[in-house]
Amino acid sequence: VDIRQNSAVHERTVAELLEAVEPGTNYAMLSEDERIARLVGELRTSRPLTSPFLSYSEETVGELAVFRAAADAHATFGEFVIPQCIISMTRGVSDMLEVALLLKEVGLIDAKGASRINIVPLFETIEDLRECADIMDRLLSMPEYRRLVDSRGGVQEVMLGYSDSN
């Protein structure tokens, strides 16, 4: 079983979480470089983003529930039960780091950068397919992300092409 979701949903979820802990963040309005810097900063800290004392949208609650269920499944059955999280419509480095942050939030990535799940981009549009090598080069050159890959045996899976969910 895999976790699979569109990058736009992850973006909205992370934007809401960041806005809740720091009003005025306006994550959706940040440039790609600003997003990357913000996400890397969050990955470096052990501070949780979620709080039982805050209210979140139905979409964010649902997304967090999926990630928490995956963490529970890992704890109950082992990490092979859900080996990867696939990001449909991956368009940039921030799409990958957003998922890393959500996985960290539920304990599937620890504070030292060890991951219990593979993060797998799915590049689907012609433009994204043209850019995917540059995106992956940039991502894999980042120490915070590289640690995640190294903790999974040094292998990064990448999916290319359109995946019809029907």
Q: And the tokens for 41? A: 């900063």
Asked whether 71 and 105 are in contact (CB, 8 A), the reply is: no
Q: Running DSSP on this structure, what letter comes out for residue 118? A: E
pTM of the predicted protein model: 0.93
Per-residue pLDDT band at 111 (split at 50, 70, 90): confident
Q: Which helix (H) or strand (E) holds 131?
A: helix 126-140
- The 10s digit of each residue's pLDDT in 3-21 is 999 999 999 999 999 999 9
Chain segment 24-54, per-residue pLDDT in tens = 999 999 999 999 999 999 999 888 999 989 9
The predicted pLDDT at position 17 comes to 97
